Chain A
């Protein structure tokens, strides 16, 4: 049996697009027919659950019972991939908790596949977060995500400084989430459906919707580019080596 995979999506800062990235990941694995479940740690009210209610459970990641709910079920759950959308400010403490319960040790031994999607903010403080996070990430696959969806400019980063942080982390890879037209993004928010459902013109209960063809086209194009980034870093190979990873056709 393939080993379970855990993908942590987080940042120590709010409003950088963690949930958006988590949503694209769930859609991506869905397109690959890879059984996926998600935990939304914005307890007690989660945003991720609004878009993926059937796959998502809202948990308090700081509580031991909820930690058990996530990590004690990794081997027994039908879902092969577990995506955890970590609430703002909890990334470092969640990683510390994973160290304490021996999860990172299991990942190191190869019993669990573990990846961290660290969503970067535009401020220089984000660079300090990289060093802090890298310290505890250990042997996990570490992805630094530059999220341009809301036109972030990363204006105050000196490339040399950024590279000095980036290169400190062995095996770290950069992922770029491109900008999506504001109105298209807003309409998906209003529709409260996965990106793939919006593209397919479906509502929350899979019923026919009446979304603008233009907005659907922009979302499809954007999602294809995001998945292209996931293809580039061989994300499917990471969590499920046997599955083919040409996914953009599904986005189309």
Chain B
């Protein structure tokens, strides 16, 4: 089992901390790696992920049982597709409560699908408490705190102890200020920017963007390897 057959939940109980940007980059990363990807936009109101990745994104809601069935039953379907959830802060508490109640992570693992939770860290108590609750409730998932360097220097890492199957910290590097206007205007694709197909991006901005993408893709690959190693380790322990 590895990241190639996985469900990744990009989360934080706080708004405007970079969840959708991370979900976008992650989706484009998997597309760049030629994997089948389905992204799920669980934000209320703004549907930014769907605007940037309309062909790969399903907008979803879990406020009622029908929405929960539509989402979770599809997430655990065996279809060799990598799934990414952009979990809006409004749906954060309900999503993890339902996931815990229905045994989502255990069911996914029974189907040989890894569940990774990318949690964007912030210094507030709400986030710290939420992180600890997730760590306690979803021990079978990979929980990776994400330091979004655009939010400032990380002076609160000690509040987010690394834990679980493959402890690691993911860094979302600072983006040069001039680049924001390109990547925040749809339609923009990170994958297309790599191949030089993204329209309207000047050469110097393109080079800067490539550097930034290389750094974040390296973070994703490292996370992928850690999950793979953790699975190998648990397989060896199970077999011995």
Of residues 32 through 52 on chain A, the ones whose CB sits less than 8 Å from some CB of chain B are none
| Known contacts A181-B65, A183-B65; A214/B103 CB under 8 A | no
B102 touches A (CB below 8 Å): yes
Complex alpha-carbon distance, A186 and B127, angstroms: 37
A182 to B104, CA, bound (A): 20
- A184 to B72 alpha-carbon distance, docked (Å): 15
Is the Cβ of A213 less than 8 Å from the Cβ of B101? Answer: no
Measured CB to CB, the nearest residue on chain B to A222 is: B101
Residue contact B65 to A213, C-beta cutoff 8 Å: no
CB-nearest residue of chain B relative to A211? B73
- The answer to whether A217 touches B73 (Cβ under 8 A) is no
Chain A residues positioned under 8 Å from B73 (CB to CB): 212-214
Within 8 A of B (CB), among A204-232: 212-218, 220-221
Number of interface residues of B (CB under 8 A): 14
Interface residue? A14 (CB, 8 A): no
For the complex, give the distance between the alpha carbons of A181 and B103 in Å.
Answer: 16
Does B222 touch A at the CB level, under 8 Å? no
Interface check B107, CB cutoff 8 A: yes
Determine whether the beta carbon of B65 is less than 8 Å from that of A217. no
- Docked pose: A220 CA to B101 CA in angstroms: 9
Q: How far is the CA of A181 from the CA of B72 in the complex (A)?
A: 16
A252 at the interface (CB under 8 A from B): yes
Per the bound structure, the CA–CA distance linking A164 and B68 in Å amounts to 43
Q: A213-B72, A214-B72, A214-B73 are in contact. Are A221 and B65 (CB under 8 A)?
A: no
Contact between chains at A212 and B69 (CB < 8 Å):
yes
A213 to B105, CA, bound (A): 12
CB distance from B110 to the nearest CB of A (A): 11
Residue of A nearest to B102 (CB): A217
Task: Give the interface size bracket for A toward B.
Answer: 10 to 19
Please give the distance in Å from A178's CB to the nearest CB on chain B: 12
- Closest approach, in angstroms, between the C-beta of A218 and any C-beta of chain B? 6
B69 near A215 with CB under 8 A, answer yes
In angstroms, Cα B212 to Cα A190, docked, is 54
Residue of A nearest to B106 (CB): A252
Per a CB cutoff under 8 Å, which of A182, A214, A216, A252 touches B68?
A214
Question: Which residues 74-110 of B sit at the A interface, judged by CB distance below 8 A?
Answer: 76, 98, 101-104, 106-107
Q: In the bound complex, do residue A221 and residue B101 qualify as a contact, i.e. CB atoms below 8 Å apart? A: yes
Flag A48-63 by CB within 8 Å of B: 1 or 0 each.
0000000000000000
Tell me which residues from 103 to 120 in chain B have a Cβ below 8 Å from any Cβ of chain A.
Answer: 103-104, 106-107
> Shortest distance in angstroms between B114's beta carbon and chain A's nearest beta carbon?
17
A130 to B167, CA, bound (A): 56
* Residues of chain A within 8 A of B106, CB atoms compared: 252
**Nearest CB of chain B from residue A6's CB, rounded to whole Å:** 35
A221 touches B68 (CB 8 A): no
- Chain A residue with minimal CB distance to B72? A214
User: For residue B102, which residues in chain A have a CB less than 8 angstroms away from its CB?
Assistant: 213-214, 216-218, 220-221
CB distance from B115 to the nearest CB of A (A): 14
Write out the residue numbers on chain A whose beta carbons fall within 8 Å of the beta carbon of B69. 212, 214-215
**Residues of B contacting A213 with CB < 8 Å?**
72-73, 76, 102, 107
Complex contact B101–A217 (CB within 8 A): yes
Which of A183, A213, A216, A220 has the largest number of chain B CB atoms within 10 A? A213
Least Cβ–Cβ distance between B106 and chain A, in angstroms: 8
CB-CB < 8 A to B68: which residues of A? 214
Kindly provide the distance from the CB of A138 to the nearest chain B CB, expressed in whole angstroms: 41
B236 CB to nearest A CB, Å: 25
Q: Please, what's the 1-or-0 string for A173-198, where 1 marks a CB less than 8 Å from any CB in chain B?
A: 00000000111100000000000000
Query: In the complex, which residues of chain B have a beta carbon less than 8 angstroms from the beta carbon of A184?
Result: 65
User: A221 — nearest CB in chain B belongs to which residue?
Assistant: B101
State whether B103 touches A252 (Cβ < 8 A): yes
Q: Mark B127-169, 1 if CB is under 8 A from A, else 0.
A: 0000000000000000000000000000000000000000000
What is the chain B residue whose CB lies nearest that of A215?
A: B69
Residues of B within 8 A of A (CB): 65-66, 68-69, 72-73, 76, 98, 101-104, 106-107
Since A213-B72, A213-B76, A217-B107 are in contact, a sample of 15 more A-B pairs with Cβ atoms closer than 8 Å, ordered by chain A residue number, is A183-B65, A213-B102, A213-B107, A215-B65, A215-B69, A216-B102, A217-B72, A217-B102, A217-B103, A217-B104, A218-B102, A220-B102, A220-B103, A221-B101, A221-B103
The 6 A-B pairs at the shortest CB distance, nearest first, are namely A217-B102, A214-B69, A221-B101, A214-B72, A183-B65, A212-B69
Chain A residues proximal to chain B, CB less than 8 Å: 181-184, 212-218, 220-221, 252
